[in-house]
Amino acid sequence: MLTDLQKRLLNDFQRDFPLSPTPYRDIAEQLGVTETEVITALAELNAQQFISRIGAVIPPNHIGASTLVAMAIPAAQLQTVADKISAFPEINHNYEREHRLNLWFVAVAANAAQLQQVIENIEQQTGFPALQLPLVDDFFIDLGFKLDLQHA
Amino acid sequence: MDATDRRIMHATQAGLPLTPEPYQTLAGQLNLSTAEVMRRLMAMQDSGIIRRIGAVPNHYKLGYRFNGMTVWDVPDGQIDELGRQVGQLPFVSHCYHRPRHLPEWPYNLFAMVHGKTQAEADRQIRQIADVLGNQCHGNEVLYSTKILKKTGFRSR
ipTM, two decimals: 0.81
Structure confidence by residue, pLDDT tens digits, B65-119: 888 999 999 999 999 999 999 999 988 988 999 999 999 999 999 999 989 999 9
Contact status of B104 with chain A (Cβ, < 8 Å): yes
CB of B144 closer than 8 Å to CB of B67: yes
Chain A residues closer than 8 Å to B95 by CB: 138-140
Mean pLDDT of A24-46: 96
Give CA–CA dist B12/B55, Å, rounded.
Answer: 12
CB of B107 closer than 8 Å to CB of B140: yes
Structure confidence by residue, pLDDT tens digits, B30-53: 999 999 999 999 999 999 888 888
pLDDT for the residue numbered A61: 65
Cβ of A51 and B58 within 8 Å? yes
Contact status of B63 with chain A (Cβ, < 8 Å): yes
Cβ of B95 and A56 within 8 Å? no
Total length of chain B = 156
**From the CA of A136, how many Å to the nearest CA of chain B?**
5
* pLDDT higher than 60, residue B122: yes
Domain at A65-133: CATH code: 3.30.70.3460
In degrees, rounded to 5, the angle at the alpha carbon of residue B79 between the alpha carbons of residues A71 and B156 is 55
Hey, of B1, B23, B96, which one would you mutate to test binding to chain A, going by the most A CBs within 10 A of its CB? Answer: B96
**From the CA of A21, how many Å to the nearest CA of chain B?**
6
Listed in sequence order, the residues at least 6 apart from B121 whose beta carbon sits closer than 8 Å to its beta carbon are B66, B68, B113, B114, B115, B141
Which of A15, A93, A149 lies at the smallest CB-CB distance from B150?
A: A93
**From the CA of A105, how many Å to the nearest CA of chain B?**
9
Give CA–CA dist A87/A85, Å, rounded.
Answer: 5
pLDDT for the residue numbered B19: 96
Listed by start position, the domains of chain B span 3-46, 66-143
CB of A7 closer than 8 Å to CB of A152: yes
Cβ contacts from A onto B, under 8 A: 239
Contact status of B30 with chain A (Cβ, < 8 Å): no
Give CA–CA dist B5/B118, Å, rounded.
Answer: 42
pLDDT for the residue numbered B148: 65
Sign of CA dihedral B133, B135, B138, B141: negative
Amino acid at B73: D
* pLDDT higher than 60, residue B128: yes
* pLDDT higher than 60, residue B155: no
User: B66-143: what CATH class?
Assistant: alpha beta
Chain A residues closer than 8 Å to B44 by CB: 56
In degrees, rounded to 5, the angle at the alpha carbon of residue B31 between the alpha carbons of residues A52 and A15 is 30
Find the helix or strand (DSSP H, E) in which B46 lies.
helix B34-46
Listed by start position, the domains of chain A span 4-47, 65-133
Which of B16, B57, B149 lies at the smallest CB-CB distance from A94?
A: B149
In angstroms, how far is CA A88 from the centroid of its own chain? 17
| B 120-139 residues with CB < 8 A to A | none
CB of A72 closer than 8 Å to CB of A102: yes
